[in-house]
Structure 1
Amino acid sequence: MNIEWQAEIERRAALHAVLADPGRLAVVELLALGDRSPSELSAELGMPSNLVAHHVGVLLEHGLVTRRRSEGDRRRTYVHLAPDAAVVPAGWMMPRPDRVLFVCTANSARSHLAVALWHRTSRLRAASAGTHPASSVAPGAVAAAARHDLSLEDATPRLLDDVRRDGDLVVTVCDNAHEEIGPLADLHWSVPDPVPAGDDAAFDAAFDEIARRVQDLAPRVAHA
């Protein structure tokens, strides 16, 4: 048994010990599907805010979650499960929706990339919309999709009210949209907006994060 292997075993054992607490495990289970603010965690779990803060602090200390400041309400932060967490929760299946609807503010980049990635991953239908749609899809999003052998050439920004249907699983991929539509959102992915930076690196980073989240969500609804 070499030293590196032993250290990794001890690290993973410590993570399992962290998740042995039912409160922390409940937090991680919720975050397995989407990001939550501490106040949202408190409301969904029926847990006092100070206890939520304690659990999130322990999870942060052990690298199981990270925090990101909202691009909308800068007073708010979102907590999400670290993508390289060594201990992955078993998770729970979601009721199968009629369709997955990805929503951002302008419906010009992240939400269209999410639909393209979803169609590559799942047979379940998907659509996108915006709370304040732009006039066209961002060229950087079209280019990012093309670099990954996907096409957004026919994509058009559309208004959420014109697209949303009963039976949709609504996933916001934009902090502003999430904070605007409130309880209409079933899940939230706090993905930084690549449009202000406008370079390939920003769009590729958004693409990669959305791709990881699509891969996590699709199996949870495909067979439910």
Structure 2
Amino acid sequence: MNVERNSLAEQARVHAALGDPGRLAIVETLVAGDASPGELGLVLEMPTNLIAHHLKVLEDAGLVVRSRSEGDRRRTYVRVVTEVLESAVTPSLAPAPRVVFVCTQNSARSQLAASIWSRRSRIPALSAGTRPATAPHPRAVRVARKHGLDPTGWRTSQVSDVVKPDDLVIAVCDIAYEHLPAAARPRLHWSIPDPAATDTDAAFEAAYTELTDRVDRLAPVLSPTDATDNSRSRP
């Protein structure tokens, strides 16, 4: 009985936190991608003190957590705790003709994300880097093959050579997000730790798991554009 009461109390706290329009708007924004408190304020046109208040309530309810940027260590990014949210809200996004996943070296996270996406969605996906390496990371290649992805076509590319107008750009690392060119919009941010920094199979597996979870959340709610359908119908 005590377990049931605790569970009900936790559910009530989550529902209460989501009952405010401002907090619901914050969570809806974060379902699609991570953001700093300052970015949330700009996107939602809320003053910083109100953002701080809402984030405190959401944190107390277990709906969001913060992490320190791997790039600019002064920044923190806020992310939704999906296990708590349990798909209660879905992001509102404009249709996209293509998705371009970006990390710094285009050697692991962005490559994995594009391949995972291609299994989940008919919207084309590519990958690129802000400072691309010469080749994909061997551990990323092994993880891809382990999970049935085909990395034989992976090639590293520069962001400016890949991104076109109207592409949805998804930065899967903090450093790349902080160094994306201003023209790379619309954009989302997934704050996923760099597995190469640890350079273990477990770290690359963890990155794969989180990327899969993020793709599984976003792919069903992102619609293709007419340009996507037309490009696929051409001989």
Normalising by structure 2, report the TM-score: 0.90
Q: Distance in 2 between matches of 1:31 and 1:196?
A: 26
Residue 181 of structure 1 aligns to a residue whose secondary structure is coil
Residue 32 of structure 1 aligns to a residue whose secondary structure is helix
Q: Which runs of 4+ in 1 moved over 3 A?
A: 86-89
Q: Distance in 1 between matches of 2:206 and 2:62?
A: 20
Amino acid at match of 1:198: D
Residue 222 of structure 1 aligns to a residue whose secondary structure is coil
For residues 185-196 of structure 1, what are the structure 2 equivalents within 5 Å?
Answer: 185=185, 186-196=187-197
Q: Give the drift of 1:133.
A: 0.5
Q: Distance in 2 between matches of 1:38 and 1:94?
A: 20
Q: Give the drift of 1:166.
A: 1.5
Higher helix share: 2
Residue 168 of structure 2 aligns to a residue whose secondary structure is strand
For residues 141-152 of structure 1, what are the structure 2 equivalents within 5 Å?
Answer: 141-152=140-151
Q: Which residue of 2 aligns with 1:66?
A: 65
Q: Which residue of 1 aligns with 2:33?
A: 34
Residue 103 of structure 1 aligns to a residue whose secondary structure is strand
CA 1:6–1:188 in structure 2 vs 1: closer, same or farther (change >3 Å)? same
Contact 1:29 1:89 in 2 (8 A): no
Q: Which residue of 1 aligns with 2:79?
A: 80
For residues 151-190 of structure 1, what are the structure 2 equivalents within 5 Å?
Answer: 151-181=150-180, 183=182, 184-185=184-185, 186-190=187-191
Q: Distance in 1 between matches of 2:9 and 2:37?
A: 29
Deviations 1:49-96 (A, max 9, x none): 121111111111111011111000000010000121145332243221
1:205 aligns with 2:206: yes
- Range with greater deviation from structure 2 (214-223 or 96-105): 214-223
> How many residues are matched?
223
Deviations 1:111-142 (A, max 9, x none): 00001100111111000001110000000100
Q: Distance in 2 between matches of 1:182 and 1:79?
A: 22
Amino acid at match of 2:35: R
Q: Which residue of 2 aligns with 1:57?
A: 56
1:95 aligns with 2:89: no
Identity %: 46
Q: Which residue of 1 aligns with 2:232?
A: none
Q: Distance in 1 between matches of 2:75 and 2:8?
A: 36
Q: Distance in 2 between matches of 1:99 and 1:138?
A: 24
Q: Distance in 2 between matches of 1:191 and 1:128?
A: 15
Q: Give the drift of 1:151.
A: 2.0
Q: Distance in 2 between matches of 1:108 and 1:29?
A: 30
Q: Distance in 1 between matches of 2:147 and 2:195?
A: 16
Contact 2:96 2:223 in 1 (8 A): no
Amino acid at match of 2:28: E
